[in-house]
Structure 1
Amino acid sequence: MKTSYLYYILLSITIFFGGCGKFLDTTPYSNTVVDNFYKTASDAELALTGCYNTVVAAVAQGEWGRASFNSGMQTLLDGGTDETIMRDGLADPLFGAIPTAAFTEQHELLKFSWSFLFKGINRVNYLLDHIDGVDMTEARKEEIKGEARFLRGFFYYYAGILYGGAPVYTTSVQDPMAPRNSLQEVFMQVLDDLQYAYDVLPHRATIPGRANKWSAAGFLVKSYNYLASSKMNDVGKNLNFELNSFDWVNSTDLYTKSKVVSQDIIDNSAYKLTQHYDYLFRETTESAQYEECLFTGESTSAQVSSNDYGAWLFYLIPVGATNITGGGYGYYRPTAEMYYNLYDANDPRRAHNLGGMLVDRENAVEFIDGVKYFMPLPATPEDENYCITKFRYKDPSIKNINVALSEGNYPILRFADILLLNAEAAYFTGDEAAARSRLTEVRRRIARENIGNTAPQVSYLDSRYRRSNFVTELLEERSRELCFEAQRRTDLIRFGRMESAIAGLSDGKGENKSRWNVIVPIMQENWDKAPYKIWFPIPINDVLLNHNLVQNPGYQSR
């Protein structure tokens, strides 16, 4: 990281030193410094950078944990689904228990996750509390408010889908003993913040990768669909936990709103499906990402954007020697079902997303815009080297940072997701034909019509992937397109299919052999005993520090 020591100290002093529970009862080191800091436009921009930093930071205010989109958020939202299972024998204390559903309220990653989310919220609130007193143009001031409120909505969106109800704070003056607000109150804040940002932000931010009008619109759509589908499928109803209830949701109304806003994005945002699917996941193909991604986790040392790098090596990149081929650790592996059942053998996404290890051979390299990448071996699920190959590091010999980290941006919200969310909204508002046309649109990018004779025609893919149950087809297409992008756990839960998806996995010993599905029976046993794990627990340390924080059902509260 190229951020200077002085900058780190300044940021630590001037941004609220907070979280929740023990993190919310602290104040800045010097109120005089804070008062003196929020004076100039540069001060405000620096504070906003601190807010964005939490999206991808490995460390926040001195606390390590990688609980952001550095790597932890992907772990929480991908690990232990019908896409992603744990490598047999993994004992890593941070990442090991999540994919087998063996986590408890004492799990370290959950402690860091809760803390990181509220640190982001606190940074935003401090900025919003002081921005009106800053000497800068009113136009930029209003944009900063819009970006900050987008980020607060963003952080609360993830708090809501991970934990349910949470304390809702809209100012920097906070009660460290505040109870959890209901899920309804959390999402009312999410929707209010995102709507504000949608209304005031420009079509593109001055700094690439920052939030704009369409970033806010996209997360509005995600929120609408999450709430509507969760209500329709009685998510959590059997837990009788009023705090996390969806009874207040009007699914028809929210799907109608989703269709309108997602159509606005499709018609007017100028985002599109970038031509090369694989360019979305390379360390050096930023220009392709910006064509399609409405919001990214920026991995850069540039202080105007962020100040951290991503850590894809834990499981998102192919297994291999990090120093030689740019390979990763393979903590998590793809299920056998992804290879055998989800993809047609000729779908180019299968060959890109699922593969073998990286090898140091001259005939196993490719050049993307002149940059060298090692290529993984073909996928063989029965082999030990079967792994996730969606994201790729460049040749480590030409990297200017630690070879374990990524200079590439992580795609958090893509135009392909918007098309699929629009399909969902269209279907549930009575237009199945329009819904299916959106699925075709997503598939066309990787079909013969776009990439030539090596790929199947889109009509073949439509026929091959068609299901009589549209929701089943939709969820399968979301997995084919968006796998390993922190989507699957939420998708399965909101459609009431998490437990059945886990129950439907094989142990890898039958006809469709797979080395890594051996872990599946442990996942199945843990879910069979604990269906309440659709919500993660509030970290036990925070519950002990604040006796007003009611624990989610099934977990230890004291």
Structure 2
Amino acid sequence: MIKSKYIVIAAVMSTAILVDACSKSFLERSPQGALQGSDLQNKDGIEALLVGSYAALDGQSSGTTALNGGNPWEAAPSNWIYGSVAAGDAHKGSDATDQPPVSQIAVGNFDPSNGFFNTKWQVLFEGVSRVNTLLSLLPDATGMTDAEKTGVKAQALFLRGHYYFELKKMYDKVPWIDETNMEDYKQPNNVDIWPKIEADFQFAYDNLPETQSSVGRANKWAAACYLAKTYVFEAKWTAAKPLFDLITTKGQTSNGLPYGLTDRFEDNFDPAAKNNKESVFAIQMTANDGTGSIANANQGEMLNFPYNSPFGCCGFYQPTQDLVNSYRTDATGLPYLDDYNDHAVKNDMKILSTEPFTPDAGNLDPRLDWTVGRRGIPYLDWGNHPGRSWVRDQDYAGPYAPKKNVYWQYNQDKYKDPNSWAPGSALNIVLIRYSDVLLQAAETEANLGNFGTAETYVNQVRTRAGKPATAVYKYTNDATPMGGFSTTPAANYVVAPYPAGTFATGGKDYALKAIYFERKLELAMEGQRYFDLVRWGIAATELTKFFAYESKITTDITGGKFVSGRNEHYPVPQRQIDLSVSGSSKTLEQNQGY
């Protein structure tokens, strides 16, 4: 959290946010070096500072490190460690000796000395610092109209809102540093910053245009979604509802604005289909961009490919059996909300890849096979997943592989980046998808007692899941997986919307349970679940059940537990507390229980 003496204008090509259009000029700026602030108080300088503020979104430096040090995966904006591994979506993966700080997070046994928390903290405050520098210089910038300055300020406050939103949901006790107090970074963290985050997003919403001319620019609708999400995290349902009403009507593609559900669920995880109508707020990634660096190619996910596979590295981020079982459906195509682990999906634990195995023949939600790589099912166009031979240690972390972060074989020359010891990719990190927005809107309506509207929103998501375009199909010829797919589904996919009136009949508890479960299915492996469980107040219950079930299958989470009153938030990094000493007193307070 140390404020830099000089302003560094970072390359933006790897880190713009996507809204709805593509402008290569915005994505392909080269680093301009380090300049004094006075050199930047003009239109070009302010634009460069804004680009640098966007550039911190992916948390990565120009090499294979995070901003201000640390490994890139420690600061991954997808939050795959902090939001998914910690929540039971996935095992850490690999083997017991690899990346032990992740193991601590996976079992709930983390403390302020875990360096991963410090890396993430530093990266997010780097983003805050860049925005604050811009805002401090903006009022006196020359060659700009008042309207232009307002537009830049709106984008900057949107970005600062994002960085602080991430800090708040991670650490809770966060100091507020803005352009008015940035000279003294030793600010206390004993005041709730949610109102200030609201204010940043509100200004952005009030002053941003509905569309932008270039990809990576926040627009009015992205700000509306983020402001509504802030209200959801605060359980301010009456404040959130008008925004969701607006987003889900005026923000629909039928009204000329960019948002809606794609017909194919998988398009949200295919670099060839990125920037689609479902992507509300995403970090733009590129590959093979001529820099010779992987920094622009989603290096936060570089560990998360099957082991001993065509990808080369590294066997992390293995989905759990608990997650896989969640995709079981009953005869009507609905999920088992309460006892899904009593309907376990067949796996290939302890079965060699050279031995026969037949995948589960029961009813399944097809989103499973776009989320999880499992034995005998097409792994994109890389062939049927072979099972054990692609897993580093089945006994340790189970039989599955991640899938949402993986590029296809047929166009890997365009979307894979080979410029490091582990693969990079041009797959965007989508921080807000329209389906996420719909499910937040459903949660809002259910909490307000509007069960029919909540059900409608959920059913939009489930209807897309049930479309033939969402199914995974068998190859025409297993021996040549790039030769195309047949018309035969790879599994017995049965998924359907809730019958009309189900939520009203079941009441608020049932409606919320169904919405919570739908978020688990739709947003699995996207770094969201831990923060959802915490804000719902059910983290202790759900993770206790998860550890009891999953620890009978693998050895990596033995002894895992969620400590109520402690684990709701990650600890303020000890390094930051030490740096906050002023005289003989520490400015930063630690969270409860650490």
TM-score of Structure 1 vs Structure 2, range by shorter chain: 0.7 to 0.9
Contact 2:58 2:76 in 1 (8 A): yes
Q: How many angstroms apart in 1 are the aligned matches of 2:169 and 2:237?
A: 18
Contact 1:85 1:100 in 2 (8 A): no
Give 2:72's aligned residue: 66
- Structure 1 position 294, deviation (Å): 1.0
Q: Which moves more between the two structures, 213-222 or 468-477? A: 468-477
Q: How does 1:50-89 map to 2 (within 5 A)?
A: 50-59=52-61, 62-66=68-72, 70=76, 73-87=79-93, 89=96
- Structure 1 position 125, deviation (Å): 0.7
Residue of 225, 238, 246 corresponding to 1:256? 238
- Structure 1 position 272, deviation (Å): 0.4
Contact 2:455 2:498 in 1 (8 A): no
Residue of 234, 242, 248 corresponding to 1:266? 248
- Structure 1 position 110, deviation (Å): 0.5
- Structure 1 position 545, deviation (Å): 2.0
Report the count of equivalent residues.
481
Give 2:274's aligned residue: 286
Contact 2:326 2:521 in 1 (8 A): no
Q: How many angstroms apart in 2 are the aligned matches of 1:534 and 1:478?
A: 19
SS in 2 for 1:50: helix
Q: How many angstroms apart in 1 are the aligned matches of 2:143 and 2:96?
A: 57
- Structure 1 position 128, deviation (Å): 1.0
Contact 1:99 1:523 in 2 (8 A): yes
Contact 1:150 1:193 in 2 (8 A): yes
Give 2:367's aligned residue: 349
SS in 2 for 1:458: coil
Give 1:456's aligned residue: 494
Q: Does 1:173 align with 2:173?
A: no
- Structure 1 position 313, deviation (Å): 4.2
Residue of 119, 122, 129 corresponding to 2:126? 119
TM-score normalised to the size of structure 2? 0.73
Give 2:138's aligned residue: 131
Q: Does 1:521 align with 2:558?
A: yes
Give 2:49's aligned residue: 47
Q: Which amino acid aligns with 1:38?
A: Q
Give 1:249's aligned residue: none
Q: How many angstroms apart in 1 are the aligned matches of 2:545 and 2:569?
A: 21
SS in 1 for 2:432: strand
SS in 2 for 1:55: helix
Give 1:37's aligned residue: 40
Give 2:30's aligned residue: none
Q: How many angstroms apart in 1 are the aligned matches of 2:73 and 2:303?
A: 15
Change beyond 3 A, Cα 1:439–1:328:
farther
Q: How many angstroms apart in 2 are the aligned matches of 1:313 and 1:157?
A: 21
- Structure 1 position 475, deviation (Å): 0.9
Residue of 299, 305, 312 corresponding to 1:311? 299
Q: Which amino acid aligns with 1:169?
A: I
- Structure 1 position 195, deviation (Å): 0.5
- Structure 1 position 436, deviation (Å): 0.9
Contact 1:312 1:391 in 2 (8 A): no
Give 1:8's aligned residue: none
Change beyond 3 A, Cα 1:123–1:136:
same
- Structure 1 position 472, deviation (Å): 1.5
Q: Does 1:502 align with 2:502?
A: no
Q: How many angstroms apart in 2 are the aligned matches of 1:103 and 1:69?
A: 16
Contact 2:307 2:313 in 1 (8 A): yes
Residue of 569, 573, 577 corresponding to 1:543? 577
SS in 2 for 1:295: strand
Contact 1:507 1:519 in 2 (8 A): no
Q: How does 1:434-453 map to 2 (within 5 A)?
A: 434-448=453-467
Q: Which amino acid aligns with 2:587?
A: N
SS in 2 for 1:332: strand
Q: How many angstroms apart in 2 are the aligned matches of 1:81 and 1:461?
A: 30
SS in 2 for 1:544: helix
Q: Which moves more between the two structures, 456-465 or 134-143? A: 456-465
Q: How many angstroms apart in 2 are the aligned matches of 1:106 and 1:353?
A: 33
Q: Which amino acid aligns with 1:521?
A: T
Contact 2:59 2:124 in 1 (8 A): no
Change beyond 3 A, Cα 1:336–1:462:
farther
TM-score normalised to the size of structure 1? 0.77
Q: How does 1:234-249 map to 2 (within 5 A)?
A: none
- Structure 1 position 410, deviation (Å): 0.8
- Structure 1 position 204, deviation (Å): 2.1
Q: Which amino acid aligns with 1:182?
A: V
SS in 2 for 1:308: coil
Give 1:153's aligned residue: 161
Q: Does 1:14 align with 2:22?
A: no
Contact 1:339 1:354 in 2 (8 A): yes
- Structure 1 position 210, deviation (Å): 2.5
Residue of 307, 318, 327 corresponding to 1:333? 318
Q: How many angstroms apart in 2 are the aligned matches of 1:163 and 1:277?
A: 32
Q: How many angstroms apart in 2 are the aligned matches of 1:267 and 1:92?
A: 45
Q: Does 1:491 align with 2:479?
A: no
- Structure 1 position 38, deviation (Å): 2.5
Once the two structures are superposed, what CA deviation does each residue of 1:458-497 show, in whole Å capped at 9, x if it has no partner? 3479999997622211111001001111210111001111
Q: Which moves more between the two structures, 113-122 or 57-66? A: 57-66
Contact 1:417 1:482 in 2 (8 A): yes
Q: Does 1:393 align with 2:407?
A: yes
Q: Which amino acid aligns with 1:520?
A: I
Give 2:151's aligned residue: 143
SS in 1 for 2:281: strand
Identity rate of aligned residues, in percent?
23
Q: How does 1:200-219 map to 2 (within 5 A)?
A: 200-219=207-226
Contact 2:9 2:52 in 1 (8 A): no
Residue of 377, 396, 418 corresponding to 2:437? 418
SS in 2 for 1:211: coil
What 5-or-longer segments of structure 1 have no aligned partner? 1-10, 18-29, 229-253, 367-372
Q: How many angstroms apart in 1 are the aligned matches of 2:37 and 2:248?
A: 42
Contact 1:55 1:68 in 2 (8 A): no
- Structure 1 position 521, deviation (Å): 3.0
- Structure 1 position 411, deviation (Å): 0.7
Q: Which amino acid aligns with 2:7?
A: T
Once the two structures are superposed, what CA deviation does each residue of 1:304-341 show, in whole Å capped at 9, x if it has no partner? xx973312645654x1446x3x3652323222122223
- Structure 1 position 100, deviation (Å): 1.7
Q: Which moves more between the two structures, 274-283 or 90-99? A: 90-99
